[in-house]
Amino acid sequence: MDTSCVTAAARTCDRIDAADGEIQAFVPERGRRERLGREARAADERWGMRPGGRRCTGSWWA
């Protein structure tokens, strides 16, 4: 399974796109996917690509 932050960020954006039109839990943000993608790439570089080294995809915020 791909556990990179980039993949996790994309999944999160997919979930928000799918559900938030009805629920409106998030303040609308133009360019969320691009911003999160940038931050996720930086996190992958910072935390490394080895298994267990990618803290943003840990169990509490994957």
Q: Which residues bind other proteins (CB under 8 A)?
A: 5, 8-9, 12, 15-16, 19-20, 22-27, 29, 32, 35-36, 39-40, 43, 47, 54-56, 58-62
Q: What phi and psi, each to the nearest 5 degrees, are found at residue 54?
A: -100, 90
Number of other residues whose CB lies within 10 A of the CB of residue 52: 10
Nearest approach, Cβ of residue 9 and other proteins (Å): 6
Nearest approach, Cβ of residue 49 and other proteins (Å): 14
Nearer to other proteins, 1 or 25 (CB): 25
Contact 43, 5 (CB under 8 A): yes
